C-alpha cells in the first residue's frame, strides 16, 4: 500500500505502516486528518448547510478553508478560545460565533465516527510509521489519542464541561495485519500475485456495517471461460482473505471499497495460516468487487489447474454480504459434487442428554426456512432437558461416506449469518461483544456470529435425524418421518419454502434440493448422488423426516420454530409431557 490514508465508499483506511500518529499535534497536522477535514467540508458544501455558510464567509476556497480550520484546531491544542482571539491570529475569525465553531468540532467528530474505519499494517521489519508497537496496542493507543484530542479541544479550548464520558469506538472499527505473500498460483492467475494476504484481524465491537443492499438475488451461473485470466489488479486496492471453507482452502480477494464484506468473513470462515496454504495452490479463488463496469457474477471450473474460480463485479447491486458468502459456498459445493459428496443447505446441532446419549440432528432447507431459528430455540428451551448443545454448522454442510461406508456429516463455516428479525428479542444483544451487525435497522437485518471451532466443523459426525425444514405448511404435527425413499425425495428434491424476503423472491417458491448453490447448477450431476445417499440413510437407520417450522406463515414467526424445537426435544428425550406449547415460557 503506497498510500497513508484513503476514504472510499464510506470506508476510511489508515495505513499504520506509513503513518502512525503518537501525539495530538501529529494527529491534527497529519495529511490524513486534512483529508477527513476536506471530505467533511465538501459534504457540507454540497448541501450548503448553515455551518458551511458560516465558515465559507471567512474563506471562499474550500481547500484553503480546510487548511485554515486545521491550523485553528492545531492552535487550540495549546490555547483557549479566548487566548486565540486575543492573540490577533488570522484564524481568530472562525471563533467569532463560538456556538457555530463548537458545532463544527462536534460535526467533524461525528463525521469521522460515521465512517467505517480500518487500520492496516504490514508485517515487515522495515515499517517506519508503525515502528515496533504491537498491532493491538497500536490500535488501542490510537483510540485513546483520538478521544484525547477531541476532548482537549472540546473541554479545554472551548470550555465545554462534561459530566458523563462515553468510551465509544473513536479510533478504528477493525484492524488488518497483512503480508506480501508470494502465492503458488498457476500462470493464469499471476495477475493476483502482488495482492497482500491477511494474517490477522482485530474487530472492535460492536461492529456495525451498512451496505447498499440487504438482499441477494438469483443463482450464480456457470460459464465456460476463465473470468479472472488477463485481468489487471492494483495491489493497493485489494486484499486477500485466505479462508478455510470446510477442509478446502479458498483465496478470497476483495476490493478495498467493500471492506465490510471482507472483514465480516473472519466471523464466518476460519482464517487460514500461511503454513496451511504455503507452497500449494488453493482449491477455490473468488474475486469480489472487480471494477469492470459490468454485472458479472459467475463461476468457472478450471479443469487444467484443478480449481473452481469466480468473479463478481463492483456494483451497488452486489453490495451485500450474501453475495460474498454464497459464492464462496457455491464454489465449495461444486468442488464437493465433483468428489461424490452431497452438499447440504442446512444446519446441524449436536445434543448431549443427561444420560450420556448423543443425538446429531441435521435440518435442511433454503434461506428463511427456519433452520437457524429452530436450532436457537432448541438451545434456549432445552436447558432443563439436555446437558449440552452445540451447533456444528449453521448454513452449509456435507454428507459423505467414511471408510466403512457409513454416512457422516461435516460443515463449512465456523460462524452463522443469521436473520435478526426471526431471533428472540435480546438474543443479538447478548452476542454484542463478538458480532458483526449488517444493516441492523432494515428489513432482513443480519448478524454474523462465530459459533463453533473449525476442528468440530470439519470432523466427521454420525447422523441420527435428517429433517427438511418446511416453513409453509401448517397441517400435521410439527415433526413427522418418512417411511420410504421416494416420498422423502419428493419433498427434499422439490425444495419448497415460503420466501420471507431474505432474497428478492416472495411467496411459495422451490429450488432443486433447496440448494441453489451448486446442486441447482449441477442438477444432472447431483441427482444420482442424491438418490444414493438417501437410500443409504434408510438402509443405515437414519430417521428422515419433515420439521414444520411455519416460519413463512404470518403470525407464526416466533411460535413456529418454538413448536418445532419442542417437538424435537420430546422426540429425543421420550418425554411426551414436556411443557405445553401454548404456555408462557417464563412459567
Tens digit of each residue's pLDDT (9 = 90 or more) over 2-13: 789 999 999 999
Give CA–CA dist 284/269, Å, rounded: 14
Residue 29 pLDDT grade (very low, low, confident, very high; cuts 50, 70, 90): very high
- Render the burial of 33-69: b for 16+ CB within 10 Å, e for the rest: bbbbbbebbeebeeeeeebbebbbeebeebeebbebb
Computed from CA positions of residues 150, 152, 153, 159, in that sequence, does the dihedral angle turn out positive or negative? positive
Residue 369 pLDDT grade (very low, low, confident, very high; cuts 50, 70, 90): confident
250 pairs with which residues across the strands? Answer: 243, 284
Give CA–CA dist 302/291, Å, rounded: 22
What mean pLDDT is predicted for residues 109-115? 96
Residues whose CB is less than 8 angstroms from the CB of residue 584 and which lie 6 or more positions away in sequence, other chains included: none
Q: Which of 116-125, 471-480, 487-496 has the highest mean pLDDT?
A: 487-496
pLDDT value of position 401: 97
DSSP E strand stretches across 162-260: 174-179, 197-203, 207-209, 238-245, 248-255
C-alpha cell at 9: 465508499
What mean pLDDT is predicted for residues 459-473? 95
pLDDT value of position 308: 98
CA angle at residue 268 from 228 to 500, to 5 degrees? 95
pLDDT value of position 161: 73
Where in the chain are the domains? 5-172, 209-338, 342-414+451-573
The answer, yes or no, to whether residue 34 has pLDDT greater than 90, is yes
Q: Is 531 exposed, middle or buried (0-12, 13-18, 19+ CB in 10 A)?
A: middle
The answer, yes or no, to whether residue 461 has pLDDT greater than 60, is yes
Q: Is 35 within 8 Å of 5 (Cβ atoms)?
A: yes
Tens digit of each residue's pLDDT (9 = 90 or more) over 50-80: 999 999 999 999 999 999 999 999 999 999 8
pLDDT value of position 457: 96
Q: Is 507 exposed, middle or buried (0-12, 13-18, 19+ CB in 10 A)?
A: exposed
pLDDT value of position 557: 82
pLDDT value of position 319: 96
Q: Is 552 within 8 Å of 496 (Cβ atoms)?
A: no
The answer, yes or no, to whether residue 105 has pLDDT greater than 80, is yes
Residue 555 pLDDT grade (very low, low, confident, very high; cuts 50, 70, 90): confident
pLDDT value of position 434: 82
Say which DSSP state 154 is in. Answer: I
Tens digit of each residue's pLDDT (9 = 90 or more) over 284-315: 999 999 999 999 999 999 999 999 999 999 99
What mean pLDDT is predicted for residues 493-518? 83
Q: How far is CA 426 from the centre of its chain?
A: 20
Tens digit of each residue's pLDDT (9 = 90 or more) over 168-194: 788 999 999 999 988 889 999 999 999
Tens digit of each residue's pLDDT (9 = 90 or more) over 228-256: 998 999 999 999 999 999 999 999 999 99
The answer, yes or no, to whether residue 20 has pLDDT greater than 60, is yes
Computed from CA positions of residues 408, 411, 416, 422, in that sequence, does the dihedral angle turn out positive or negative? negative
Q: Is 275 exposed, middle or buried (0-12, 13-18, 19+ CB in 10 A)?
A: exposed
Decide if domain 342-414+451-573 falls under CATH 3.90.228.20. yes
284 pairs with which residues across the strands? Answer: 250, 308
Task: Pick the closest to residue 385 from 584, 574, 543 (CA basis).
Answer: 574
What mean pLDDT is predicted for residues 547-556? 88
What mean pLDDT is predicted for residues 546-558? 88
Q: Is 171 within 8 Å of 109 (Cβ atoms)?
A: no
pLDDT value of position 584: 44
Taking only Cα atoms into account, the Rg of the chain, rounded to an integer number of angstroms, comes to 27
Residue 426 pLDDT grade (very low, low, confident, very high; cuts 50, 70, 90): very low
What mean pLDDT is predicted for residues 519-541? 98
Residue 133 pLDDT grade (very low, low, confident, very high; cuts 50, 70, 90): low
Higher model confidence: residue 133 or residue 551? 551
On average, the pLDDT of the chain sits at: 90
Task: Pick the closest to residue 344 from 177, 71, 529, 192 (CA basis).
Answer: 529
Residue 86 pLDDT grade (very low, low, confident, very high; cuts 50, 70, 90): very high
Amino acid at each position: 500500500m503506497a498510500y497513508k490514508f484513503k476514504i472510499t465508499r464510506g470506508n476510511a483506511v489508515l495505513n499504520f505502516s506509513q503513518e502512525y500518529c503518537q501525539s495530538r499535534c501529529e494527529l491534527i497536522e497529519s495529511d490524513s486528518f486534512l483529508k477527513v477535514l476536506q471530505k467533511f467540508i465538501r459534504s457540507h458544501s454540497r448541501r450548503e448547510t448553515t455551518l458551511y455558510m458560516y465558515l465559507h464567509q471567512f474563506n471562499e476556497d474550500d481547500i484553503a478553508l480546510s487548511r485554515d480550520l486545521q491550523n485553528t484546531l492545531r492552535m487550540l491544542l495549546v490555547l483557549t478560545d479566548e487566548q486565540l482571539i486575543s492573540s490577533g491570529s488570522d484564524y481568530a475569525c472562525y471563533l467569532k460565533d463560538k456556538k457555530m465553531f463548537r458545532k463544527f468540532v462536534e460535526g467533524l467528530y461525528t463525521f469521522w465516527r460515521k465512517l467505517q474505519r480500518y487500520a492496516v499494517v504490514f508485517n515487515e521489519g522495515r515499517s517506519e510509521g508503525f515502528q515496533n508497537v504491537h498491532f493491538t496496542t497500536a490500535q488501542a493507543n490510537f483510540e485513546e489519542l483520538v478521544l484525547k484530542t477531541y476532548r482537549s479541544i472540546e473541554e479545554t479550548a472551548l470550555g465545554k464541561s462534561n459530566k458523563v464520558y462515553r468510551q465509544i469506538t473513536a479510533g478504528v472499527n477493525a484492524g488488518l495485519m497483512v503480508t506480501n505473500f508470494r502465492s503458488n498460483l498457476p500462470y493464469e492467475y499471476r495477475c493476483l500475485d502482488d495482492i497482500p494476504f491477511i494474517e490477522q484481524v482485530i474487530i472492535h465491537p460492536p461492529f456495525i456495517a451498512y451496505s447498499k443492499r440487504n438482499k441477494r438475488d438469483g443463482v450464480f451461473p456457470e460459464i465456460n471461460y476463465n473470468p479472472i485470466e488477463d485481468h489487471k489488479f492494483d495491489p493497493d486496492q485489494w486484499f486477500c482473505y485466505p479462508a478455510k471453507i470446510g477442509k478446502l482452502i479458498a483465496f478470497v480477494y476483495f476490493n478495498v471499497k467493500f471492506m465490510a464484506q471482507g472483514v465480516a468473513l473472519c466471523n464466518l470462515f476460519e482464517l487460514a495460516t500461511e503454513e496451511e496454504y504455503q507452497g500449494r495452490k488453493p482449491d477455490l479463488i473468488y474475486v469480489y468487487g472487480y471494477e469492470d463496469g459490468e454485472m458479472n457474477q459467475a463461476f468457472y471450473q478450471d479443469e487444467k489447474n484443478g480449481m473452481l474460480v469466480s468473479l463478481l463485479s463492483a456494483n451497488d447491486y452486489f453490495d451485500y454480504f450474501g453475495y460474498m458468502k454464497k459464492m464462496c459456498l457455491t464454489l465449495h459445493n461444486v468442488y464437493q459434487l465433483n468428489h461424490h459428496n452431497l452438499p447440504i443447505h442446512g444446519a446441524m446441532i449436536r445434543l448431549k442428554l443427561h444420560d450420556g446419549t448423543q443425538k446429531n440432528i441435521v435440518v435442511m432447507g433454503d434461506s428463511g426456512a427456519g433452520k437457524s431459528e429452530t436450532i436457537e430455540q432448541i438451545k434456549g428451551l432445552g436447558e432443563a432437558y439436555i446437558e449440552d448443545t452445540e451447533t456444528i454448522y449453521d448454513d452449509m454442510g456435507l454428507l459423505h461416506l467414511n471408510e466403512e461406508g457409513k454416512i457422516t456429516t461435516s460443515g463449512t463455516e465456523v460462524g452463522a449469518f443469521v436473520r435478526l428479525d426471526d431471533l428472540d428479542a435480546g438474543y443479538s444483544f447478548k452476542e454484542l461483544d463478538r458480532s458483526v451487525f449488517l444493516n441492523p435497522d432494515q428489513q432482513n437485518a443480519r448478524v454474523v456470529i462465530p459459533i463453533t471451532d473449525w476442528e468440530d466443523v470439519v470432523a466427521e459426525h454420525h447422523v441420527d435425524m435428517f429433517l427438511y425444514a418446511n416453513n409453509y405448511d401448517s397441517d400435521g404435527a410439527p415433526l413427522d418421518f418418512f417411511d420410504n425413499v421416494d416420498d422423502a425425495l419428493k419433498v427434499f428434491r422439490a425444495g419448497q419454502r415460503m420466501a420471507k424476503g431474505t432474497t428478492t423472491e416472495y411467496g411459495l417458491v422451490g429450488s432443486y434440493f433447496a440448494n441453489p448453490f451448486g446442486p441447482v447448477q449441477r442438477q444432472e450431476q447431483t441427482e444420482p448422488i442424491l438418490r444414493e445417499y438417501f437410500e443409504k440413510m434408510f438402509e443405515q437407520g437414519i430417521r428422515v423426516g419433515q420439521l414444520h417450522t411455519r416460519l413463512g406463515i404470518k403470525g407464526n414467526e416466533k411460535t413456529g420454530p418454538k413448536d418445532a424445537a419442542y417437538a424435537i426435544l420430546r422426540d429425543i428425550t421420550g418425554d411426551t409431557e414436556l411443557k405445553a406449547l401454548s404456555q408462557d415460557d417464563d412459567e
